[in-house]
Amino acid sequence: MNPESVTVIEFLGCVPLLQTLPSSSHKKIAEVVFVKRYDQGDSIVCGGDGADGIYFIWEGEAEVCGSLHSDDKSHAEYHLKQYDFFGHGMSPSTQPVDVLALSKLTCLVLPNDQVHLLKPKSIWSADDAQEKHPLIERILQLDPIEVDVFQGITLPDAIKHVSVFGGQFLGQALAAACKTVDSQKIVHSLHAYFILPGDLSRPIIYKVHRVRDGKSFATRRVEAIQREKVLFTLMVSFQNEEQLFIHQVVAMPSVPDPEKLISREELQEQRLVDPRIPRTYRIEAAGTDFFRWPIELRFCEPDTAATNYKKSRPSLRYWFRARGILSDDQALHRCIVAYASDLFFLEVSLHPHYEKDLKSTNVSLDHSMWFHKPLRADDWLLYVIDSPISHSGRGFVNGRMFTRTGELVVSIAQEGLLRRAREPAPAPASASKL
């Protein structure tokens, strides 16, 4: 790719309208836009004549004239600057306006016959010809409602419990944040708080606040909302990739390759007939609808508390990867890893406390992640989880994710609430009929 095309793609990634698009869309748009230049005072769009596309201001300033609010002295709403856009390709104009150059002006113009590039079916893939996107991609699909506001839903085949899965909040909220930054900036850390449970049957509104946009870093705050209540908050930091001061001391544990381990589905079938597993758990598992998760898991030690509900060390190791073929969008891969990071995570704090017929509840309170290196969520990643301490009904867990070659790519930490489940109140004795 020539330097000029790279510069155009970088510019397009800074336009708020285009940040919601797949990163591959920026490349397609860069191939078809053309440059127009104007001098101060030149007319760019005249009244009802229309425009020949969508204009993105590369350099300079312009002004919209002839609006219904033209008596407003400030005209602040109609002063256009770098990264602003205008034109008639998005929707019919209900009011003829003029757009004038206030200075020397350079615009990139997307022709009207290419405006469909602004409306892909997926925020992750520009390939509308793809018949069916992977389930995990559809789980993380968001509908842009307005600038910096998105809507997500819980799909029937998504991982869920009695309320919205914590990983769904993490993945969707991170997706919303990613769709408000320059695609050249990649998430390197996030810090989340789980405030209220989410309703599976209702859409989730994600509001993104642009805290900071710098040359190397950007910061976003995201709120997940249902019924006008904030359920979840997320702080995210993004950074341009740099190659400085590189080292890794920690080594990946020695574990069997994923191909030598049985899948979660096969393990589930074994549990139904394994006499070592308490009968109550086998009965409960037999009566539970079981479906293929969008994330494939293979436990390194199948005979652990995670699978047989017996006391064991507070640790867990498993391989995981996303099902399906994914694009190369690094933002998508990191959103998927955020989604998967909450699987069997807090439960590790309960491993030393399992006992016969134990009924417990565990709720995530907060969650932090640090992304160290590029990764692919559709390649096997080893998740190493430990719980060094649990106290005052709060379990603490930390995790590390490694590639098959031993590269540490993600570090995770979480604290959650651990309590015994409340026993149902006894039914009132029936009144005597005597």
Q: Which position among 364, 378, 387, 390 bears the catalytic label?
A: 364
Q: What is the DSSP string of 358-375?
A: --EEEEEEEEEEEE-S--
Q: Which position among 122, 349, 390, 414 bears the catalytic label?
A: 414
Active-site residue flag, 95: no
Helix (H, G, I), strand (E, B) or coil at 398: strand
Active-site residue flag, 74: no
Quote the crossing angle between the two packed helices 3-12 and 23-32, to the nearest 10°. Answer: 120
Reported residue count of the chain is: 434
Phi-psi region of 58 (alpha: psi -120 to 50; beta: other; left: phi over 0): alpha
The alpha-carbon radius of gyration of the chain (Å, integer) is 26
Both structure tokens of 371: 């992304």
Q: Which position among 342, 349, 378, 387 bears the catalytic label?
A: 342
Q: What is the DSSP string of 38-58?
A: E-TT-EEE-GGG--SEEEEEE
> Is the sign of the CA dihedral 80, 81, 87, 92 positive or negative?
negative
Q: Scanning the structure block, which residue is given the tokens 């509840």?
A: 361
Active-site residue flag, 330: no
Give CA–CA dist 171/222, Å, rounded.
12
Nearest CA to 281 out of 318, 301, 307 is that of: 307
Both structure tokens of 120: 């892909």
Both structure tokens of 205: 């509104």
Nearest CA to 329 out of 17, 118, 20 is that of: 20
Task: Determine the Cα angle at 212 with ends 211 and 213, to 5°.
Answer: 140
Provide the annotated active-site residues: 342, 364, 414
